Amino acid sequence: MISSEENGHYITLLEHEGDDAQDIFMPHLRNNSELSHELKVDDIIEAFVYHDDNGGLVASQLLPDAEVEEFALLKVVDSQPFGAFLDWGLEKDLFVPAKKQKKPMQVGELYLVRVCYDRESGKIYGTTKFDSMLATLDFDIRDGDQVEVIPAEEHELGYRCIVNRRYIGMIYHNEIFEKIKLDREYEGHIKKIREDGLIDLSLQVQGIKGLDAAAKKILEFLKKNGGKLKLHDKKSSPEQIKQVLGMSKKTFKSSVGMLYKARKIVITDDGIELTK
């Protein structure tokens, strides 16, 4: 920060796009003036830079829930015939024009939105009509990668999720073994990046690493429960296995096979036991 004024501060960018850094005005926060007045000349801060209604660059101490080309689950705070306004963490709400809405937005409801930049006007806006954009995205991830997953919408087949803030994926109901909460961050794994730009996701590690993790979980359960587990790879239902261990029957059977071959367990008529 280079100088202080009555209505705000002037800052100079240390990290920026373009050829030359420029000094930008950062108004005092209307709803948190205390935070603004705590700043001192020569302080180094993190700020969000955007175009105001007049097309000029301004900065904010507040950081948005999503930046340009990112996705977020946002709440509508005002809705008009020409568009809706969503809370995205800044004092100035994110505008979603009516023509950029799949269906009219309702105040108080959460929507999965992509943040976009209009090069002609220099303004940022939101859209829920992003499906056609997905196939054109540049992916910096690949099958098997661990990713940040935020469930945003529940559908008949599963949960539509935000992936690393930049992509959209799906976790299917038949592969979910824990209670899912919307807008909560989970650790996920990419099963497949599809041609339409959607990503098939799993909350479980895939491949041999996933089986190793499942086998370890079974061993830990056995050690904590007297060395016995009344689940059978043939007799127990998928629901029973899911309820007790939080994994699929297929994963359970494969993991039990691994443990049996390694002579760490024995299989009985009632279930499995640790070897003595």
**Region of poorest pLDDT, from 78-87, 182-191, 208-217:** 208-217
Same domain flag for 174 and 224 = no
Domain count, the chain: 4
Which of 84, 104, 129 finishes a domain?
129
More confident residue, 101 or 259: 101
CA-CA distance, 21 to 264, in Å (whole number)? Answer: 63
With a pLDDT cut of 70, the percent of the chain lying above it is: 91
- Residue 267 in contact with residue 255, Cβ under 8 Å? no
- Tens digits of residue pLDDT in 101-111: 999 999 999 99
Question: Does residue 214 lie in a domain region?
Answer: yes
CA-CA distance, 69 to 107, in Å (whole number)? Answer: 24
CA-CA distance, 81 to 98, in Å (whole number)? Answer: 7
pTM of the prediction?
Answer: 0.73
CA-CA distance, 202 to 147, in Å (whole number)? Answer: 10
CATH number of the domain enclosing 229: 1.10.10.10
Which of 176, 202, 228 finishes a domain?
202
Question: Does residue 135 lie in a domain region?
Answer: no
Give me the domain span that covers residue 250.
207-274
pLDDT at 17 over 60: no
- Tens digits of residue pLDDT in 99-155: 999 999 999 999 999 999 988 888 899 999 999 999 999 999 998 888 999 999 999
Question: Does residue 134 lie in a domain region?
Answer: no
CA-CA distance, 255 to 217, in Å (whole number)? Answer: 10
35: number of Cβ within 10 Å = 12
CATH number of the domain enclosing 179: 2.40.50.140
Question: Does residue 66 lie in a domain region?
Answer: no
Question: Does residue 189 lie in a domain region?
Answer: yes
Residues 96-124 as b or e (16 or more Cβ within 10 Å = b): beeebbeeebeeeeebbbbbbeeeeeeeb
Same domain flag for 120 and 168 = no
- Tens digits of residue pLDDT in 41-99: 778 888 888 877 777 788 888 889 999 999 999 999 999 999 999 999 998 899 999 99
Q: How far is CA 272 from CA 132, 218, 229, in A?
A: 50, 10, 5
pLDDT at 245 over 70: yes
Question: Does residue 228 lie in a domain region?
Answer: yes
Same domain flag for 50 and 12 = yes
Same domain flag for 218 and 265 = yes
- Residue 187 in contact with residue 237, Cβ under 8 Å? no
Chain-wide mean pLDDT for the chain?
86
